[in-house]
Every structure is written in C-alpha cells, then in structure tokens.
Amino acid sequence: METNDERVINLTRNDVVIIGNYHQVVAKIPRAPRGKEATIRFDREIVRLCRGAIPIIRIPPEGVTIQGLPDPEPGVLYITSSVIAAHAQRPDVVSPDTAPGGAVKLGGNLVGVKGLQCWM
C-alpha cells in the first residue's frame, strides 16, 4: 500500500467526511465552492423499446462530457462523484467509497465514508 501527502481537492457538492475504525472523524474535506463542482453530461441514444414503451438507452463514449475537472497536477488528488471518477479513468480522480462496507450511516443517514475509491 502506497502512502503520501497529496493535496486533496473536493469537486463535489458535499463535504466529504472520512470516518476511522473507532467512528472518529479522520478528515473533513470541504465541498467545492458553488459553481466549481465537477459535472458530467450524457448524450443518450435509444437502442430499442422494451414492451413498446420502456426505452433501452445506450450512452456512446463520445457522448460523455465532463466539466470542471482540472488537468492532472503532480501531488493533487481530485474527489468527484463515482460516475465522474469512473468515466474520467485517471489515477488522480477518486470518489467517496459509498459501496456496502464503505459507507458509515447513523440512523439510516450517511455521515461519512471509510475511504476514497479509485476507478482505474
């Protein structure tokens, strides 16, 4: 496991709270300023209709547009949504680990995550 002191920039609309093994807050990474969030847009194509009414869509790779994600910078890690991180396919773009076992909930509400996940 590799460790280093990267600068972490949150490009989401929510603070990212990292919770440790003893339910303590390990880090709180503030949300992006309004208008500085990374966003994604999809162009959709209808492939066919199921039962004549339910569209089955395809998102062609060239139909994905990510905005607000800076170019890679040495020593910088960018936090985005899982959808953006998965489509960006860059080692410097991660997302909060909200998968089962990664999300920390209290009374059914998400209070933080145990870590960040990469998509490469």
Tell whether 11 is covered by a domain. yes
Tell whether 49 is covered by a domain. no
Number of domains making up the chain: 1
Quick one: average pLDDT of 61-80?
95
Instruction: Say what the pTM is.
Output: 0.86
Tell whether 33 is covered by a domain. yes
Cα 119 to Cα 72: distance, rounded to the nearest angstrom: 15
Domain that holds residue 96: 7-38+73-115
Length of the chain: 120
Question: 114: burial class by Cβ within 10 Å (0-12, 13-18, 19+)?
Answer: middle
pLDDT digits (tens, 9 = 90+) for 4-22: 678 999 999 999 999 999 8
Tell whether 21 is covered by a domain. yes
Q: b/e per residue, 34-43, with b = 16+ CB within 10 A?
A: eeebbebeee
Tell whether 78 is covered by a domain. yes
pLDDT digits (tens, 9 = 90+) for 71-100: 999 999 999 999 999 999 999 999 999 999
